[in-house]
Amino acid sequence: MTTIRLAVVAGAGAAQTLFAASLADFPPSTQTGVTYAKDIEPIFKQSCVRCHGADKQSAKLRLDSLEATLKGGKDGKVLVPGKSETSDLVLNIAQIGDTPMPPKPKPARGGGTNAPGGRVGSQPMVTPPLTKEQVGLVRAWIDQGAK
């Protein structure tokens, strides 16, 4: 019985360490004065607003304006100003949260994958994941108050 408990505790600790190490791979940018309009909106326009904009709001989440981003979506707020490490937005764009964003390619009907560069079958093009630098800039923006 003791061995099983130790295995569970060790397993939980390993999962927490893995999670922490994964987020550590995306440190906040050292850039100061990060704003939504100047720095974050271009990233979101490139990678997010196709599914989280005026025309379509997956999970009722819009990222095409500061106000909409701060409001959040159907599951509530996606960021906590000043706390990027606990913001679902950061975890998801770093591909380590419960809902990695942009989503990973799905197998298309008839084989193949939903790869960047156009359509495969009836599936639309997939947006590549944000770079470590882009995730770091989003983290810095949130840590600096998400303004």
pLDDT tens for each residue of the chain, 147 residues long: 322 222 233 333 333 344 444 889 999 999 999 999 999 999 999 999 999 999 999 999 999 999 999 999 999 999 999 999 999 999 999 999 999 999 877 776 655 554 444 444 444 557 899 999 999 999 999 999 999
Question: Where would I find the H helices in 72-124?
Answer: 88-93
Nearest to 27 by CA among 135, 100, 110: 135
In this prediction, residue 5 carries a pLDDT of 28
Q: Tell me the whole-structure pTM to 2 decimals.
A: 0.76
Q: How many CB atoms sit inside 10 A of residue 140's CB?
A: 20
The contacts of residue 91 (CB under 8 Å, 6+ apart) are 23, 97, 98
CA distance 83 to 119: 37
